[in-house]
Amino acid sequence: MNPNSVSGAMQTQSPKPTSYVFQIENLSVYYGSNPAVKNVSLKVPARQITAFIGPSGCGKSTVLRCFNRTNDLIPGARVEGKLTYHGKDLYAADVDPVSVRRHIGMVFQKPNPFPKSIYDNVAYGPRVLGMKVDLDEVVETSLKRAALWDEVKDKLKESGQSLSGGQQQRLCIARALAVQPDVILMDEPCSALDPISTRRIEELMKELEQDYTIIIVTHNMQQASRVSDMTAFFSVELVGSNRVGELVEFDKTEVIFNNPSKEATRDYVEGRFG
Amino acid sequence: MTSAARDFESSQDINIEKKMDSSRILDVGFVRLTLVLSIFAGILLILVILQTTEAALPAIQQFGLEFLVTSRWNPVENIFGVLPQIYGTLMTSLVALVFAVPLGIGTAIFLTEDFAPKWITVPIGFAIELIVAIPSVVLGLWGIFVLIPAVRPIFRAINESMKWFPLFGGPAPRGPSLLIVSLVLSIMICPIIASITRSTFESLPRNLRDGALALGATRWETILTVMIPAGLSGIVSSIMLAMGRALGETMVAAMISGNANRINISLMQPGSTITGLIASQFGEAGRLQVSALMYAGVVLMILTLVVNVLAEIVIRRFQNLEQ
């Protein structure tokens, strides 16, 4: 990949005056007694897209799952270090992980619509959270924001699982938007999709960036360079027989792809490793 | 690919071998064998139904449909009817389900939804599967010598305090009763519901649950609004299978129902089921009585058939919902 062509395709949005949604200091995640990722420190700016890239097993998904405390669901997972969300410690003892997830939505690698109608899929979040809203309106606006409305408006009663893969993923995005989150986490949202669907999701992310903070984990470096404002490059280190992930470099996407300060980052974005 | 450059002559060089004779014979032979076996299974079913009905014919001709609503079973006067047994059969199965369904589904949820570490759930799961292996005659004995004495005070207390309620009424409960049968049946069928429901939950994609949790649903909301609806067809079919087992269970009913040939609305009183009736009477039955027992057997087969067909319809409906 030629780094110069990347800068041409890159979004030349002027850097906004940023505040930080998340601040991580020395975050380590353990599965059992083995560290999966160690000593990560970074700040995620608001209303921007932050991409996590790196080879398999580098801990990028693990770190992503810390933001909405879904690591709690894995037996034996343990988080050390500090993670603040708008200044509040997300891992403080009195924080209810369920209420954290109401503000921080997530889109998964494999589209996972519920075996319910398209309408009920989008209405699920507002219903279960008991939001006092006009459901019809929420469903319509969410589907419109997810660029799916025109394709499904005549078949809202049909099962969400009857849609194509790309449509299902946009349905999952609409479902996440319906609870009016502050942040959307995306865990390789396009890895199961064809290039056309991928393109649509990427366009969608650029639109959503106006109102939401987005963090995306991706294997696809071009995708990171196309959509993101900030990029974090993770790598794997062998400690004994354990593979431990670490954050190598975190900077503006242009810097990471054109002028990274670390040799390992350069090797990775230029395709020489990973 | 350079196939565009390839001409017709050279493509004939490609050698596709003929199918070997021996594998052909094996293929055809296997298809025929399975065909014969499956036809045989069907014929067997039809034969059992036909021959039972044939043996029941004298009783059918004599009593007709009145057999179903007569509550006397009198070999001396040759008057036979199975209303108490129909009531007993349906009631014991239904009440057994009332106990077993929540217990079975609850167990399945506990075993699959990360409520407890593996070293707890694995042995429990194994133990539940093993309950199925207990012979029903052993459970019957256990019912007589352990369960009946153990629950007698409880039954008496319920009977005393709720005499006005028909299902718990009648004289003070002593031993065998329909409710005891239901309890033992529920022990027998709970593992069926638990293990099928459990594998249904295990087969649901994990990311379904993660999706609901990520939207801010609690664990219980996730189970109730996503997992159970998604696994509904599996749960319903486990219940139907369990119900079929309960309807057909004989030993337990014969041993602890009391085999009372009269209709008793109260579950606390001795009753009888079709299976129990047949098992306890065929040994010393006269000619018309055997025919009447066969008739009772036909009734039971129709009953289970109706339940199975209903189950199939229900399951289809749920499957349609899911698609």
Q: What is the pLDDT of residues B133-157, one digit of tens each?
A: 899 999 999 999 999 999 999 999 9
Task: Tell whether the torsion through CA atoms of B103, B105, B109 and B112 is positive or negative.
Answer: positive
CA distance B4 to chain A (A): 28
Contacts of B216 in chain A (CB under 8 A): 98-99, 101-102, 125, 128-129, 179
Do the chains contact at A159 and B218, CB–CB below 8 Å?
no
> ipTM surpassing 0.95, yes or no?
no
Q: How many CB atoms lie within 10 A of CB A88?
A: 10
Tell the residue number behind the tokens 């089921």, with chain if given: B273
Q: Which helix (H) or strand (E) holds A241?
A: none
Q: Which helix (H) or strand (E) holds B235?
A: helix B232-248
pLDDT tens, position by position, for chain B (323 residues)?
444 445 555 556 677 777 777 888 888 899 999 999 999 999 999 999 999 999 999 999 999 999 998 888 888 888 899 999 999 999 999 999 999 999 999 999 999 887 888 889 899 989 998 998 899 999 999 999 999 999 999 999 998 888 888 888 888 888 899 999 999 999 999 999 999 999 999 999 888 999 999 998 998 999 999 999 899 888 988 998 899 899 999 999 999 998 888 888 888 889 999 999 999 888 888 889 999 999 999 999 999 888 888 878 877 776 665 54
How far is Cα B260 from Cα B56, in angstroms, rounded to an integer?
A: 22
Q: To 10 degrees, what angle do helices B232-248 and B83-112 make?
A: 140
Tell me the pLDDT of chain A averaged across its residues: 86
Measure CB to CB from residue B211 to each of A102, A112, A179 and give the nearest one: A112
Do the chains contact at A116 and B229, CB–CB below 8 Å?
yes
Contacts of B212 in chain A (CB under 8 A): 114, 124, 128
pLDDT computed for residue B7 by the predictor:
56
Contact predicate B187/B221, CB 8 Å: no
> Phi and psi for A236 in degrees, rounded to 5?
-110, 140
What SS3 state is found at A225?
helix
pLDDT computed for residue B323 by the predictor:
46
Measure CB to CB from residue A108 to each of B207, B221, B230 and give the nearest one: B207
Contacts of B229 in chain A (CB under 8 A): 114-116
Contacts of A162 in chain B (CB under 8 A): 323
How far is Cα A243 from Cα B117, in angstroms, rounded to an integer?
A: 25
Using a CB–CB cut-off of 8 Å, the residues of B that contact A are 114, 117, 205, 207-208, 210-218, 221, 225-226, 229-230, 322-323
Searching chain B, which residue's CA lies closest to the CA of residue A162? Answer: B323
Do the chains contact at B214 and A105, CB–CB below 8 Å?
yes
The superfamily CATH assigns to domain A19-269 is P-loop containing nucleotide triphosphate hydrolases (3.40.50.300)
Listed residue (B6, B17, B68) closest to B300, CA to CA:
B68
- Whether the pLDDT of residue A191 is over 50: the answer is yes
Contacts of A186 in chain B (CB under 8 A): none
- pLDDT tens track for B271-320: 999 999 999 888 888 889 999 999 999 999 999 888 888 878 877 776 66
Indicate the domain borders of chain A.
19-269
Which strands make up the sheet holding A213-217, listed edge to edge? A88-89, A77-85, A20-31, A34-45, A242-252, A230-239, A49-53, A213-217, A183-187, A104-107
